[in-house]
Every structure is written in C-alpha cells, then in structure tokens.
Amino acid sequence: MSVSLWELVSSRGIQESRDDRTFTVKYIAMGSTDSTVIRNAAILDTPRSYWGLYRSAVNVEPRGGNQYWDVDVTYAVISPNEVLGEEPLPPETLDPDAPLPVSYSFQTSGGTTHIQQSRSTTSSTVVGGGAAPNFKQAINVTKEGVEGVDIVTAQAEFTIEARRAFVSLNYFNTLFRLTGTVNNAAWKNFQEGEVLYLGCDARYTSNDGWSLSHKFSAEPNQESLRISADLTVARKYGWDYLWVGYKEGFDAGYRVRTPFAAYCERVYRFTNFAQLEIGV
C-alpha cells in the first residue's frame, strides 16, 4: 500500500521573530506502520521550498490505528544547500531494457578515425593487366610510407543531468581529476574502456541548488580486429590508440610496404566512474 498525505486545516502556521522565521505544514499520513517509510514519503511528496523558506525538518509521530501518523514539515531560513532530503542518493544500476531516465540526453554521430588498413581489398587493377602488388590492405601507399584515410566510425556523445544540494571542494576536485579519463569497469551498460568523461558544466540557483551536466563520449571496444590476412589484434579498448608498423619488401616486381605488427597504446588514464556519484 502506498503512503498518502492529507494536509490539515490547522496547517501553515508561521512563527516569526527578529532573528528567525519558520513555516510549518501539517499532515495526516497513512499507508505504513514504519515511521521511516512515512518520513521518506513526506520528503518525496512535499515541496522543497515555501515562501522563500526551505525544508529544514520533518517530524513524524504515531496518531493511532497502527497506520496513522501526524507529520509536520517545517520550512526555515536556511541555505538551499542544506535542504532536508537532498543528500546525494546511493548509486543505481541502469537496467538496459528500461526506458532511459529523463536526466539523459544524447547524440549518436560518426566520429572521424584515421586508418591505414582496410577491412579487405575488393579489387586491384594495373595498366595492361597482370598482377598488382599486394599491400596487405594498406591504404594509400607511397614511397614515403602509408598515408591511410579518414573514415566515419561509431561514436556517441551523451549528457547526464544531476542535481545536488551542495557541492564541496573535494567533489569539485574529483570531477576535475576525472575529466579526460576512461571507465575502468562496466558502467551504465558500457564495457570497460568505452566511455571518456569530457567534464561537467555546473550552475547554482537559489531555488534549485546545484544543477550539473556531466558530458561523455563513447567508442566501442573491438574484438578480433583484423588488420590484414596475416595480422589480427585480439582486443582493442575503445579509447586506446591503434597503430600499425610496416616493412618494405617486393611483390610482383614492385617495392611494397606491408604491415608486420600492430600496437594498441593506452593514451587515457582508466578511473572509477562511481566517484561521479551519478550511479553505475
């Protein structure tokens, strides 16, 4: 049974002095025998502010009948950072099949990646026929090296909006140090190594407290990445940098450059995104 609150006719009394001012809203609540459940329902179902005052206290007293309670919610002259019930919530795991929370916004777009190897060579033609040199899928090979080509690859950018009653200097420092790092464990249904934290835009208003926009970019991991018929990379994390080494040789009478080694370089630090305190 859900908890219901009804405001009393004796509600909304004001206490005011030279030094202080408070405003109390009185309710009858029913729906649970647990005072903690009633308290939490009162936090969720009452406004954070009234007449420029902010929720500072909730008092829950049994009224009788096992499920009836008197609930007083008091508003006072306090900072918006101190609003009762707006402490940071514990992390929540995102269900991949559930609708995305309204705090999400996203854009899928093609990121540009420079590659030096194709997935396959579909044809090769030389003047007068005959056999073309086999560059083992290297692209735009010249006497100076392998120039490659820029292509569009899967990439997503997304934002998670969050609200906090307060932001400490320690939390600000945490966001600063996490910027430009990659997730070191599965996070928000992404695999380890796929999400890059781009930073946070934060703003404060007297009515809403702190509003934070956390920005991310995602690039998929790749398994069994085929560089050429003779060369396969077992695993490339999304934000690791892949480059290919080439050697010179001869094929069909031509001097050619062919791949002989592939290297995945870790260019971003991996960190624990649970420190963002916006769920896992």
pLDDT, tens only, 145-168 = 888 888 777 779 999 998 876 788
- Say what the pLDDT of residue 93 is: 63
**Rounded to whole angstroms, how far apart are CA atoms 275 and 82?**
22
- Say what the pLDDT of residue 90 is: 45
- Say what the pLDDT of residue 71 is: 95
Long-range contacts formed by 196-202: CB under 8 A, 24+ apart: 196/239, 196/268, 197/271, 197/273, 197/276, 198/157, 199/175, 200/175, 202/167
- Has residue 46 got a pLDDT over 80? yes
- Say what the pLDDT of residue 94 is: 65
115 three-class SS: strand
pLDDT digits (tens, 9 = 90+) for 2-21: 788 999 988 888 888 877 88
Q: What is the mean pLDDT of the chain?
A: 85
CA distances from 175 to 31, 167, 192, 259 (A): 41, 11, 19, 41
pLDDT digits (tens, 9 = 90+) for 196-246: 999 999 988 766 678 899 999 999 999 999 998 889 999 999 999 999 998
100 is written with which tokens? 């995305």
**Rounded to whole angstroms, how far apart are CA atoms 161 and 100?**
12
- Which one, of 32, 24, 93, lies nearest residue 53 by Cα? 24
Top pLDDT among 126 and 219 is at 219
**Length of the chain counted residue by residue:** 280
- Say what the pLDDT of residue 102 is: 63
Q: What percent of the chain has pLDDT over 90?
A: 36
Sequence-ordered list of residues with C-beta below 8 angstroms from that of 133, at least 6 positions apart, any chain: 251, 252, 254, 256
Top pLDDT among 228 and 82 is at 228
- Say what the pLDDT of residue 59 is: 94
**Rounded to whole angstroms, how far apart are CA atoms 223 and 233?**
7
Q: Classify burial at 139, counting beta carbons within 10 Å of its beta carbon; exposed 0-12, middle 13-18, buried 19 or more.
A: middle
- Which one, of 224, 174, 217, lies nearest residue 194 by Cα? 217
> Which of 138-142, 182-186, 236-240, 256-260 is least confident?
138-142
**Rounded to whole angstroms, how far apart are CA atoms 150 and 74?**
61
Work out the average pLDDT over 31-50: 86
Top pLDDT among 70 and 78 is at 70
Work out the average pLDDT over 236-262: 88
